[in-house]
Chains A and B, each alone.
Chain A
Amino acid sequence: MTVDRRSFLKLLSAGTAGVGGASLSMAARAAEIMPKSGRRVVVVGGGYGGTIAAKYVRMMDPSIEVVLIERNRQFVSCPFSNLVIAGERKISDLTLGYDKLAAHYGIKVVFDEVTAVDAEKKEVVTAGGSIGYDRLILSPGIDFRFDELEGYDPATTPGIMPHAWKAGEQTLVLKKKLEEMKDGGTVVLSVPLTPYRCPPGPYERTSMIAWYLKNNKPKSKIIVLDANPDITSKAGLFRKGWAKHYAGMIEYRGAKKVTVVNPAGMSVLVEGIEEVKGDVINVIPPQRAGAIAVKAGVVGPDKNWCPVNATTFESTQVKGIHVIGDACIAGAMPKSGYSANSEAKVCATNVVALMNGRELVDLSGINTCYSSITGKEAVSVAGVYKVDQGKIVAVPNSGGVSPDLSELEAIYADSWLRNIMTEMSS
């Protein structure tokens, strides 16, 4: 794919102008930027789903222009961020830029925030102006339902009780709080009801915090308050790993839904009654699709997640808008980074088919997901997915979890990260 370097650079600077363009008048902001000259797909969100959707549309039909809109100049991966918290990885290992991807595939990257979608006019509105599309792919990830936690101030509470469920600054806040805690302290971690981003994530985090404490502050303990009745993913393996490495350190309590937070007193309340105090409190709030999905009207009757067609990932609510990744309801496919990668390719295939009047192709999807138990050992889960009667289902008699925790799983986990991040960034 040849790249028009000059127009790409021009676009990069146009994006910069948009971000810094607060002094522009409202009228100027609403003006159309990048008028469409041919067929165009706009992708919103440059994470595990969006980067791949943008890349594969270009791979499959270079005559379609692709504009990727992302608010951050760099992406930080949630997968492996629990290892950063434990001091086993640097956050720079998990950080990506967009230059190489944009140059290799001729993707036009705009660094801006999408504030609205006009599905009638087929345009998205950003601070820098509006951008037209033929088809829109939203890969917005998650946002939090802070309002379901009494006492939670979205502006100040994350600095006191970090969620660290979007990787980056929050990851480092939680890491620092653990480092500052005295030996013999108590860490409290709360898990929301499913569905939430990364089903095994809270339990991997528990493991990685325990790993850090065992090596640095061995008199400390962790209390896990899980709104779900039991560990929601890889349960047997986590229990086995905890018994093997962290006996007496992890206190797991199922069916304990945190409903109130008290940042001033460093405590949380289970069901508004039972108070649990902690020296470090990691509240993982309940979640929904990223805010732009709500604004675009693609969240379903549950007001949280986006129902989509299982072949095209087109919203069943609004025509011309496709939703992939954590934000969508993808049947049996979990809300994971690998699922988002896989869904993005299915979506790209069928967006290109729709734009060329070609026959659609059935979904074939994969999820692979590793969780670290210690700094050296990991476990895995894998699945293969297909469409049956309009729903995404796991292929019978396939998939499942690793038989045990092992160092070999951790070696594969490292390669997983290298490959998937390379796929996203080049």
Chain B
Amino acid sequence: MKQIISSWSRVLVTLAVLAAGSVVQAAPATPEMLSNACAGCHGTNGVSAGFSMPSLAGQNRVAIAEAMKGFKSGERPSSVMGRLAKGYSDAEIEAMADFFSKQKAAPAAAQSLDLAMVAKGKTLHERHCKRCHLESGKEFDENAAVVAGQWLKYLQIQMADYADGKRKMSEKKADKMKPLSRDELEAIANYYASIK
């Protein structure tokens, strides 16, 4: 009897809420719904116009998902991203990663770069980075990120986080990165930023 009353009261509550027009039948947030909310900072369909915020369009799906999970756990340093990533389930993160990976990539708009550093960075890329950051950083192996055509400021912040030991690296990456000086990391950042 008690159960019947409680289920009836639930129906009544539901009816009251429906009458007020505030509850509707709706599907769970789609990948597009989840991802569009990010575009205020990462640009429409993930093409960023802000120097310190990366473009996500055409990014490696695995790299986006790893980044978000790293922000969520606090393993990867961030400003707002850690606080935002905690708002999503792993399934939602995978859905957003998939959405952005399928968008058409567009290199950053004209940015001022140091041409000597670009040339130096190219040599360093060939020597240290190209086995994972394929095709001048336009393509990727496994979980490596697309770094070509990103904003210089964003790449510089990431390089600084690596050099300061704030951002963890895989053993494979650490082997390649550790011998590089800050000046060399800056050169590599300039090189990737220059790729169209």
Contact = CB atoms under 8 A, between A and B. Distances in A.
A402 B83 CA distance: 9
A318 B42 CA distance: 35
B162 to A, nearest CB: 15
A265 to B, nearest CB: 44
Interface in A367-399: 368, 380, 382-387, 389-391, 394-395, 397-399
Given A368-B40, A408-B79, A419-B40, A384 B53 contact: no
Interface stretch (A165-173, A220-228, A409-417): A409-417
Contacts of A395: 86-88
Contacts of A81: none
A365 interface: yes
B27 to A, nearest CB: 5
Contact of B39 (A361, A364, A423): A423
A312 B37 CA distance: 15
B22 A365 contact: no
Interface in B40-67: 40-44, 48-53
Contacts of B39: 345, 423
A415 B26 contact: no
Q: Which of A368, A385, A386, A387 has the most CB of B within 10 A?
A: A368
Contact of B50 (A362, A365, A394, A414): A414
A382 B53 contact: no
Interface in B6-24: 17, 20-24
A411 B52 contact: yes
A362 B79 contact: no
B156 to A, nearest CB: 10
Interface in A306-339: 309-312, 314, 316, 338
B23 A390 contact: yes
A389 B17 contact: yes
Contacts of A400: 83
A314 B23 CA distance: 12
Contacts of B83: 382-383, 398-400
Which range contains the number of B residues in contact with the other chain? 35 or more
Contacts of A419: 40-43, 48-50, 53
A420 B41 contact: yes
Contacts, number: 148
A310 B42 contact: no
Which range contains the number of A residues in contact with the other chain? 35 or more
Contact of B40 (A346, A361, A366, A398): A366
B110 interface: no
B84 interface: yes
A360 B41 contact: no
Contacts of A385: 87
Contacts of B28: 361-362
A397 B27 CA distance: 23
A416 B50 contact: yes
Contacts of B23: 389-390
Given A362-B27, A418-B50, A423-B39, A346 B22 contact: no
A118 to B, nearest CB: 21
A196 interface: no
A341 interface: yes
A368 B53 CA distance: 13
B37 A365 contact: yes
B27 A361 contact: yes
A415 B52 contact: yes
A232 B25 CA distance: 35
B159 interface: no
A360 B22 contact: no
Contact of A311 (B26, B88, B157): B26
A211 interface: no
B116 interface: no
Contacts of A55: 44
Contact of A420 (B29, B40, B51): B40
A398 B50 contact: no
B79 A380 contact: yes
15 contacts: A56-B36, A311-B26, A360-B26, A366-B87, A383-B87, A395-B86, A399-B87, A411-B153, A412-B80, A415-B48, A415-B153, A416-B41, A419-B42, A420-B40, A423-B49
Interface of A: 55-56, 309-312, 314, 316, 338, 341-342, 345-346, 349-350, 359-366, 368, 380, 382-387, 389-391, 394-395, 397-400, 402, 408-409, 411-412, 414-420, 422-423
